[in-house]
């Protein structure tokens, strides 16, 4: 093939080259800070957030169990103790090699559960999105409400139909 035709032939082949997908955002979801009687529920709610996040093909997700496996029980416990403090979550999550971290808190006040979630940028410590919810205990919708809020929280926008407000 003459040299002057080689660049044209190569240019014609370029559209056939495989397109590399963009790297997925890496997100860690940590157990929620909760009083002793709600600790298991806090971990289960965090696992529900991780499952909801894993449905997004643009995300690579570490759930609470993977976080504990990588950091150890003590550090994972301190991370959960950050509650909804974005700077605290970001600082303790740096060793996970993730871009973002989701954490929060769970409490019970009378006949309602109170949940606060925050998504933090691990590099800057800034809160990217947060969600506060109050769910009546009798409704038995705590896990569903948190799972419904997760996609909006992760997209840094309010979830449609969230039971309370996003900030």
d(CA 101, CA 103): 7
Confidence of residue 25 (pLDDT cuts 50, 70, 90): confident
Q: Which residue's structure tokens are 């093939």? A: 1
Q: Pairing state of beta strands 100-109 and 25-29? A: parallel
d(CA 21, CA 136): 43
Q: List pLDDT tens digits, range 87-129.
A: 999 999 999 999 999 999 999 999 999 999 999 999 999 999 9
Query: Residue 100 has which token pair?
Result: 């973002």
Query: Residue 147 has which token pair?
Result: 């799972």
pTM reported for the whole predicted model: 0.79
Q: What percent of the chain has pLDDT over 90?
A: 73
**3-state SS, residue 93:** helix
Q: List pLDDT tens digits, range 31-67.
A: 999 999 999 999 999 999 999 999 999 899 999 999 9
**15 pLDDT higher than 50:** no
Domains in the chain and their CATH numbers? 24-154 (3.40.50.10070)
């Amino acid at each position: 093939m003459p040299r002057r035709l080689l660049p044209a032939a190569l240019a014609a082949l370029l559209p056939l080259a495989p397109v590399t997908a963009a790297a997925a955002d890496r997100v860690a979801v940590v157990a929620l800070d909760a009083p002793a009687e709600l600790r298991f529920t806090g971990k289960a709610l965090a696992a529900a957030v991780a499952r909801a996040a894993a449905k997004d093909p643009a995300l690579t997700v570490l759930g609470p169990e993977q976080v504990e496996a990588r950091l150890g029980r003590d550090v994972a416990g301190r991370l959960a103790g950050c509650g909804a403090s974005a700077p605290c979550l970001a600082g303790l999550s740096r060793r996970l090699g993730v871009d973002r971290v989701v954490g929060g808190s769970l409490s019970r006040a009378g006949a309602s559960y109170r949940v606060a979630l925050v998504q933090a940028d691990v590099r800057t410590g800034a809160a990217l999105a947060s969600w506060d919810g109050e769910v009546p205990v009798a409704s038995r919708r705590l896990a569903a409400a948190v799972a419904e809020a997760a996609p909006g929280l992760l997209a840094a926008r309010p979830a449609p139909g969230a039971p309370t407000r996003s900030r």
